[in-house]
Amino acid sequence: MIPYLPFATLSLMYLFQERIYNFGAGPAMLPNEVMEIAAAEFLNYKGSGMSVMEVSHREPLFEDVITEAEILLRKLLNLGGDYSVAFFSGGATLHFSALPLNLLKEGESFDVAHTGIWTKKAWEEGLKFNEVNVIYDSTNNHFTDVPVLTDSELSGKGKYLHITSNNTIYGTQYPEIPKIKQIPLVADMTSELLSRKIDVKDFGVIFAGAQKNIGPSGLSLVIIRNDLLGISGRKIPVLLDYSVMVKNRSLYNTPSTYSIYIAKLVFEWLLKLGGIEAIEKVNEQKAKLIYDFIDSSSLYVCPVQKRARSKMNVVFLLKDKNLDSKFLDEAEKSGLHGLGGHRLVGGFRASIYNSMPLSGVQKFCCCNLHHLIGQHRG
């Protein structure tokens, strides 16, 4: 039987337990500073005597949270009044259904550049409602590269172009966002939003699940150009209707209140660091360090074309696959968690999102793990 311990005692126990480096693809690690603030405010948010997760979404106390979250996001992205923001309960996959319903009339189609599993899922879901034009397919190169897309590659029939800007599973990323002028660009930026500078005006719609760079799972956000709201004329399920969610400030129903609160703290943390420009420099430093290490190693290989290598998800393989299990076991012992590749592709993946400190990447590159693996190589 586990003995009862007061909450304060448990808090002290966890406080002095060393945190590991979580390289998992998501839900990802959150900044320590954010976790500490959330812990301090957990039982009594701003003197209310309640946790944020206990506050009604109709009370001014929470309305201030969601309003501030949007204000901070707009500041980070330099978002003008010609774009609206909405928070949704559900991940990015939710929007594979919502996007065609909101942006297409019956009988219309959209273009997709197929660069991995997430574009395939968007394509398959879109076919339930409309036609889909696949203008690029990286299946033949085993999803190790991304295209250079311009208006000339468009089908001429699609009403928007759907891309996944960063592919977590295959470790690819568009080095530059495509400059599409003829139709709106719709980007799934789940695994990279807020990690590098972008010009929001290049997009018609940006959507992202929160669990990589924004906050906990169970939350997604949409940034949509105002002229794209309400254009389909279709009967849309109310919680998928972007116009309804924007009009009701994401409060049509009970939102994911605690996840939005954590997202607000993450936005504050980013601004305190110096905004996206500052975190981008750190991300570039982390990515260079780990790719240089892998490329110079006799143990590992990165299968991704150099121009398309993700700065968020570093995919690599052991040259001796017989050591895969040994690698993961030793990594866990070293406090390096979540380095296994996606179940569909295997190998390894180090996810180095905004919250992964440089010290985590340095530990990965310098720890005794690699020496131990080298000793077991055949």
Is residue 212 annotated as a catalytic residue, yes or no? Answer: yes
Of 111, 159, 212, 311, which one is the catalytic site residue? 212
- If we measure between CA atoms, which residue out of 292, 314, 76, 112 comes closest to residue 195? 76
Residue 315 CA to residue 350 CA, distance in Å, equals 7
The tokens for 75 are 């500041």
Is residue 118 annotated as a catalytic residue, yes or no? Answer: yes
C-alpha distances in angstroms, 352 versus 28, 88, 208, 328, 338?
9, 25, 17, 17, 11
- DSSP label at 232? S
Residue 114 CA to residue 141 CA, distance in Å, equals 12
Of 118, 241, 269, 311, which one is the catalytic site residue? 118
CB 308 within 8 A of CB 341: no
- If we measure between CA atoms, which residue out of 62, 68, 53 comes closest to residue 267? 68
Of 123, 159, 188, 264, which one is the catalytic site residue? 188
Is residue 227 annotated as a catalytic residue, yes or no? Answer: no
Residue 295 CA to residue 302 CA, distance in Å, equals 7
The tokens for 15 are 């406080």
CB 350 within 8 A of CB 363: no
Residue positions annotated with a catalytic role: 118, 188, 212
